[in-house]
Amino acid sequence: MGSYEDVADRTWRHGKLAAGDKAALLHELVRYATLAPSSHNTQCWKFRLADDTISLLPDLARRCPAVDPDDHHLFVSLGCAAENLIQAALAHGLKGHADFDAAGGNVLRVALAPTSPVASPLFQAIPERQSTRGEYDGQPLVRPELELLERAGRGNGVGVILLTERQAMEKVLEYVVQGNTAQMNDPAFVDELKKWIRFSAADAVRTGDGLYTASSGNPAVPTWLGSLLFGMFYTPKSENDKYAKQLRSSAGIAIFVSDTPGPAQWVEVGRCYERFALQSAALGIRNALLNQPVEVSSLRPQFANFLGIGERRPDLVVRFGRGPKLPSSLRRPVQAVLV
């Protein structure tokens, strides 16, 4: 398949289509959808094609029950993919309307109808979006940029809280450290995470999924060596120190909050976060998730109380700022996700 760099270049691109080839267009829309983020880059989605509909289904074989026992992140990932699909459809002259059917197997159907094509800045940014797990430059964003990010992140029953004051960000860091320490003391969490780490470029290319170490700013090494080093150097202290540096280098933190629980709302959270991420990429801003405060169930109510959001659920914690790009993660081919 070529080197990691060659495969990444073929993955993260805008496509070219022959006019009038509807089947090719539907496949291309699915390809854009797969460029969305997902928890541990599991790509926990499947797609079913019809004449004027693309259905997105959760791939339960790619669940992460240790970090995501209620499938919250799984459905958020589905929403991210749907937003990419809808942005790409509009750029190709199709208006997408998403309808979630919980009674029918948690299927998200995107109906497509002809419209005037609009290649929005969010669509243009799809190949540039990245969950950049490195340090940023620590510089603040200007007010118009923050307003664009906040507007992109709002949705139906979903709000976004932007924190840019250092005192508030330090308080969030306290919750990140508490959550990370609890997770790293959970053998099931550690085993699950290790399962999805791709230590070498060859393994990342072979699987087309997972967390490639170089994409997190760590060295790529042979798998046998990576497995050995993982146990030696992946400790609560080293990870907490890393998160402290990353958060303190960020311009701010975005926290996505939803009104009601359940898969339909979590899909909407995913759509909102993806718009936020695409708007960030369009502005040259990096982002990465720091979800420990919302993943540890015993910590989540305390975090909600700190935010002052009452009974609403804090769904995602995202740091953002400007910084260098890291190697992009890979994706499985379209044929692998079609049913």
Between CA 123 and CA 85 the distance in angstroms is: 9
What is the dotted CATH code of the domain comprising 4-127?
3.40.109.10
Q: What is the pLDDT of residue 25?
A: 96
Mean pLDDT of the chain: 96
- How confident is the model over 95-106, as a mean pLDDT? 91
Spatial CA neighbour of 278 closest among 45, 99, 90: 90
What is the dotted CATH code of the domain comprising 143-321?
3.40.109.10
User: pLDDT tens-digit profile of 218-264?
Assistant: 899 999 999 999 988 889 999 999 999 999 999 999 999 999 989 99
Start-to-end Cα distance in the chain = 24
3-state DSSP assignment of residue 48: strand
pLDDT surpassing 90 at residue 167: yes
User: pLDDT tens-digit profile of 210-229?
Assistant: 999 999 888 999 999 999 99
The amino acid at 193: L
Give the CA distances from residue 321 to residues 146, 250, 280, 284, 287, in Å, rounded to whole numbers and listed in that order: 11, 5, 9, 9, 7
Between CA 190 and CA 185 the distance in angstroms is: 8
Q: What is the pLDDT of residue 18?
A: 74
Between CA 7 and CA 26 the distance in angstroms is: 22
Cα-to-chain-centroid distance, residue 227: 25
Return the structure tokens found at 94.
């199709």
Domain ranges of the chain: 4-127, 143-321
pLDDT grade for 19, boundaries at 50, 70 and 90: confident
Q: What is the pLDDT of residue 88?
A: 98
The partner residues of 161 in beta bridges, in order of sequence, read 255
Asked if domains 4-127 and 143-321 share a fold, the reply is yes
248-145-88-205 Cα dihedral, nearest 10 degrees? -20
User: pLDDT tens-digit profile of 256-290?
Assistant: 999 998 999 999 999 999 999 999 999 999 999 99
